Amino acid sequence: MRPFLKWPGGKYRLVPRIKEKLPPGKSLIEPFAGSCAVSLNTEYENYLINDINEDLINLYKTLQAKGDKFIRRCRLYFTAQKNTPEKFKKFRKEFNKTKDIEKKSVLLLYLNRHGYNGLIRYNSQGEFNVPFGRYKKPYFPEEEMKFFYEKFKKAKFTCEDFEKIMMKAKPGDIIYCDPPYIPLTSTSNFTSYSSGGFGIGEQERLARAAAKVAAKGIPVIISNHMTDPIIQLYTGAYIEDFPVQRFISCNGANRNAVTEILAVFGQGG
């Protein structure tokens, strides 16, 4: 099942490849959940779904708690009358000001589906700043939201630092990490998904945490771009590389094949 959020760089199309690397276990832990494409398409008994973006986690928790009632409220925002630049700017302003978690969650779905390229991005003041997407008729993901609600009724959603989440893992757990990727070029660095960014220091910290957890017998699988710094960081892991078609700039014509990797810590691959 596809995620109900649009998610540039999401892993839906790579799920079959990723699942080949995920061993059997009792629980799947995602420290960088994003759109939850991997968790949605696996069958573990338990799920720990974490992301540093508090708005995203609040959206997931609201859907988990309110189900159909929340879905019906979201549907009201998917009309021709609300699909205009003026309405988009109005709702974006409301999103940035409101303290009402359920309203903010409704608006996040609206902004994600009506905004440019499905981006979730904030400025240095923590304000959502994605422009209007100008889509003729944004898709309302009702079936995908219902699937998410049924799938994750018992899941645990958290908003914590990835290392803290990883260190909670116990034997029987599997960890899949889809961190913000190391940039391929000096102009492609994307750090505004949440405050603080994710630079080389965080990449190093993730690699150390993966090795530490794997030493306890807990498999860790990480996705990333194939670059020399990443290969050096993942020394000791089994690495599989493969080409992926992906936009690597805001220019829609610049869709090139880039090489991604799956690094497997703690098992033979």
Q: What are the structural domain ranges in the chain? A: 12-52+160-265, 61-149
pLDDT at 118 over 80: yes
| Residue-level pLDDT at 185 | 61
The tens digit of pLDDT for each residue in 210-240 reads 999 999 999 999 999 999 999 999 999 999 9
* Signed CA dihedral, 24, 28, 33, 36: sign only: positive
What pLDDT is recorded for position 254? 53
DSSP designation for 122: B
**56: helix, strand or coil:** helix
What does the pLDDT read at residue 46?
Answer: 98
pLDDT surpassing 70 at residue 252: no
Confidence of residue 265 (pLDDT cuts 50, 70, 90): very high
DSSP annotation string for 26-41: SEEEETT-TT-HHHHT
pLDDT of residue 189: 44
State the pLDDT at residue 183: 76
Reported CATH class of domain 12-52+160-265: alpha beta
Q: Are 144 and 3 spatial neighbours (Cβ–Cβ below 8 Å)?
A: yes
Which residues, at least 6 apart from 91, have a Cβ–Cβ distance to it below 8 Å? 77, 82, 107, 110, 111
Q: For residue range 185-212, list pLDDT tens digits in order.
A: 644 444 444 445 688 899 999 999 999 9
Region 74-84: what's the mean pLDDT? 98
CATH superfamily name and code, 61-149: Adenine-specific Methyltransferase, Domain 2 (1.10.1020.10)
List, in sequence order, every residue forming a beta bridge with 255; answer none if it has no partner.
Answer: 247
To which residue do tokens 């405050």 refer?
195
Distance CA 218, CA 170 (A): 7
In terms of pLDDT, which residue wins out, 39 or 182?
Answer: 39
CB 102 within 8 A of CB 66: yes
- State how far the Cα of 159 lies from the Cα of 147, in Å rounded to an integer: 22
